[in-house]
């Protein structure tokens, strides 16, 4: 730790009372706390849960909100020390909660681009769009190494290949944090650790692997990020061999802090400690003693403060541990320059006109182009001629909400073109390049070989986030997982029960077949957060493109379909051909397309 900062931290810590220290350890949701309460309880941080936004969700609404919290946190008097609040959000593919933001492809698509320079550029632009809203902290990048496409968070993972995730991690952190002056925001690497390795790919499930595999596969991407000076790490909901990460002092206190030398702030996930014990009182001591420094508390921050005070008074949590937590929180705040920044309304980037600007969108469009993976191209049907008579069909063709996926404006994402402001749908992109393209009004029923030379059918998944994206083959999956975990399992309603696209979305194959049966060649573009078993759809199409979740700039898809740019994306996940075995590590797993595959 920088000596000047260390001195400042120690001097401030000396002045703090127990309640001021405990307040710093709390992060709660904007809906349940006012600026006056931030001051009265010395709260260290406020966040927006997915989709939680002030006012009309305009940039100015965010700046005003942050300004009010900041002003309250900086009022100094006999009872209160001026310690700037830090506001956190999930800016995981652009500043995705805010209306009009540039929405980048989700991580799975960025993995296919295999371009670390691009990652740093995306992170820098994301930081600018976050700073425009007066916010200083994002809960990104996710460094999960997803091993099972059943997992609803597969799209938050760059790759099943730990080495690729490791190549990205420090670049993304550098792009976000910059020089930690006025141009940077605090990055968070998450979720520590093993989130992508749970049995059956259950969100919040159990990762049953050896320590060697945990370190070699799931921890490895964190090392370059820690070297790059990442200021926060978020603990994971999952368990490791039955024990919850949120209560795991070996993983947090010993491995992360002592062995790897992480000096920043360890934050819990959303109410993450609540599942470690039946009683909330006990859960707090478990979490603090495991080494968590700041607690993301969705609502019950008052009981949290009361209980932690009680633990401190009775010695069930030591003052030494509380001081370690507060030191790390203050270090994060000093290191990111928060104490030197003026109020949010007066900061250089606040309300900046570059938010959602063309230059940022051009970068997102480049990322889209580089993320596309061409899986099949019979008779070199692609690229298409711009004067071809193209019929465009499929439920995801003209739907910016769907192409952005989860964590876009709302936690679970949106549908249609109304809520994501700015950008183009894939259809709009095609329309701008191909004068003779028309949109099917009836799912391809109107396909006519006399009028259409070729069809582009845009199919795939609809938005989801976290456990609501899980695919669970049956209830026994939960029963088995739950019985292995020491603590509670919080499962959400899954997305479906089969990894076969035809089972999940029969309408997609129907549209492809309807058009193909009329003798019109079909180019299928699949929008999805993961590879799925799509043999029928691939076989029925002449060309097949995996577009992942491209975000707001659908134009990037059209750029490549019509040959303005070449296909260059390579699979960062293997593409399954059967539903079992489907885990990368399973013996006998034979993918339809391996990692690295992608036609040019």
Active site residues: 269, 466
The sign one gets for the Cα dihedral 315, 321, 322, 323 is positive
Q: Select 190 or 248, whichever has its Cβ closest to ligand BGC.
A: 190
In the structure encoding, which two tokens stand for residue 96, read together? 């995705």
Q: Select 49 or 337, whichever has its Cβ closest to ligand BGC.
A: 49
Nearest one of 513, 517, 543, 562 to 379, comparing CA atoms: 543
The contact set with ligand BGC (CB under 6 A) reads: 49-50, 90, 139, 190, 269-270, 466
Alpha carbon 596 to its chain centroid, in Å, reads 23
Edge to edge, what strands does the sheet with 390-393 contain?
373-377, 543-548, 522-527, 454-460, 390-393, 438-439
**Cβ partners under 8 Å of residue 130, min gap 6:** 89, 91, 95, 136, 138, 185
Q: Select 50 or 444, whichever has its Cβ closest to ligand BGC.
A: 50
| In contact, 331 and 1? CB cutoff 8 Å | yes
Q: Select 274 or 508, whichever has its Cβ closest to ligand BGC.
A: 274
Nearest one of 492, 505, 494, 490 to 469, comparing CA atoms: 494
| In contact, 444 and 386? CB cutoff 8 Å | no
The sign one gets for the Cα dihedral 415, 418, 422, 424 is positive
C-alpha 5/C-alpha 14 separation (Å) is 14
Shortest Cβ distance from residue 123 to ligand BGC (Å)? 16
Shortest Cβ distance from residue 195 to ligand BGC (Å)? 9
- Looking only at Cα atoms, what is the longest distance across the chain? 83
Q: Select 232 or 541, whichever has its Cβ closest to ligand BGC.
A: 232
Shortest Cβ distance from residue 340 to ligand BGC (Å)? 27
C-alpha 578/C-alpha 586 separation (Å) is 13
Using the CB atoms, write b or e for 362-390: b if 16+ within 10 Å.
Answer: ebbbbbbbbbbbbbbbeeeebbbebebbb
Shortest Cβ distance from residue 93 to ligand BGC (Å)? 13
Shortest Cβ distance from residue 92 to ligand BGC (Å)? 8
Q: 444 by DSSP, 3-state: which?
A: coil
Q: What is the DSSP string of 44-85?
A: -EEE--TT--STTS-HHHHHHHHHHHHHHHT--BTTB-----
Q: Select 254 or 270, whichever has its Cβ closest to ligand BGC.
A: 270
| In contact, 485 and 430? CB cutoff 8 Å | no
Q: Select 107 or 377, whichever has its Cβ closest to ligand BGC.
A: 107
Residue facing ligand BGC at closest CB distance = 139
Q: What is the CA radius of gyration of the chain?
A: 24
The sign one gets for the Cα dihedral 56, 61, 62, 67 is negative
Q: Select 130 or 363, whichever has its Cβ closest to ligand BGC.
A: 130
Q: Select 115 or 271, whichever has its Cβ closest to ligand BGC.
A: 271
Shortest Cβ distance from residue 130 to ligand BGC (Å)? 14
Shortest Cβ distance from residue 39 to ligand BGC (Å)? 24
Shortest Cβ distance from residue 271 to ligand BGC (Å)? 8
SS3 content of the chain, % helix, strand, coil (to 5): 40, 15, 45
């Amino acid at each position: 730790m920088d000596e000047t900062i260390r001195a400042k931290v120690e001097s401030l810590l000396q002045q703090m009372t127990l309640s001021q220290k405990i307040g710093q350890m709390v992060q709660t949701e904007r809906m349940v706390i006012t600026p006056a309460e931030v001051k009265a309880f010395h709260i260290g941080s406020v966040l927006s849960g997915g989709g939680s936004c002030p006012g009309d969700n305009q940039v100015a609404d965010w700046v005003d909100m942050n300004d009010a919290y900041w002003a309250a946190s900086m009022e100094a008097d006999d009872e209160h020390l001026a310690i700037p609040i830090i506001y956190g959000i999930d800016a995981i593919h652009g500043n995705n909660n805010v209306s009009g933001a540039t929405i980048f492809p989700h991580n799975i698509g960025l993995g296919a681009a295999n371009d670390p320079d691009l990652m740093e550029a995306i992170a820098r632009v994301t930081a600018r769009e976050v700073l425009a809203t007066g916010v200083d902290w994002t809960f990104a990048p996710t460094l999960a190494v997803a091993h099972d496409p059943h997992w609803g968070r597969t799209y938050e993972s760059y790759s099943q290949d730990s080495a690729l995730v490791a190549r990205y991690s420090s670049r993304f952190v550098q792009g976000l944090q910059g020089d930690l002056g006025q141009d940077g925001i605090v990055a968070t690497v998450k979720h520590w650790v093993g989130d992508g390795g749970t049995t059956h790919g259950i969100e919040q499930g159990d990762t049953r692997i050896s320590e060697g595999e945990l370190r070699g596969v799931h921890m490895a991407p964190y090392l370059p990020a820690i070297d790059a000076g990442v200021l926060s790490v978020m603990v994971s909901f999952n368990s490791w061999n039955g024990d919850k990460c949120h209560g795991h002092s070996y993983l947090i206190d010993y491995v992360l802090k002592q062995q790897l030398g992480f000096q920043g702030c360890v934050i819990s996930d959303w109410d993450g400690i609540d599942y470690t014990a039946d009683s909330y009182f006990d859960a707090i001591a478990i979490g603090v003693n495991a080494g968590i420094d700041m607690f993301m508390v969705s609502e019950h921050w008052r009981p949290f403060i009361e209980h932690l005070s009680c633990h401190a008074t009775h010695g069930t949590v030591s003052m030494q541990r509380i001081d370690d937590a507060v030191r790390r929180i203050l270090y994060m705040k000093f290191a990111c320059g928060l104490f030197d920044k003026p109020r949010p309304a007066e900061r250089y980037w606040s309300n900046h006109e570059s938010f959602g600007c063309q230059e940022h969108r051009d970068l997102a469009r480049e990322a889209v182009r580089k993320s596309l993976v061409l899986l099949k191209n019979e008779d070199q049907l692609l690229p298409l001629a711009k004067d071809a008579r193209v019929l465009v069909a499929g439920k995801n063709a003209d739907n910016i909400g769907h192409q952005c996926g989860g964590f876009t404006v709302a936690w679970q994402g949106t549908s249609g073109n109304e809520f994501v402001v700015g950008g183009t749908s894939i259809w709009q992109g095609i329309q701008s390049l191909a004068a003779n393209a028309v949109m099917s009004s009836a799912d391809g029923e109107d396909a006519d070989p006399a009028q259409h030379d070729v069809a582009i059918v845009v199919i795939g998944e609809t938005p989801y986030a976290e456990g609501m994206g899980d695919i669970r083959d049956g209830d026994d999956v939960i029963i088995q997982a739950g019985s292995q975990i020491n603590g509670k399992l919080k499962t959400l309603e899954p997305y479906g029960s089969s990894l076969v696209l035809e089972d999940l979305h029969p309408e997609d194959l129907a549209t492809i077949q309807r058009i193909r049966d009329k003798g019109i060649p079909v180019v299928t573009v699949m929008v999805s957060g993961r590879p799925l078993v799509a043999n029928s759809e691939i076989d029925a199409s002449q060309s097949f493109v995996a577009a992942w979740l491209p975000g707001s700039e659908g134009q990037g898809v059209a750029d490549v379909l019509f040959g303005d740019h070449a296909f260059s994306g390579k699979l960062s996940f293997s593409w399954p051909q059967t539903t079992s075995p489907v885990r990368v590590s399973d013996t006998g797993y034979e993918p339809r397309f391996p990692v690295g595959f992608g036609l040019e």
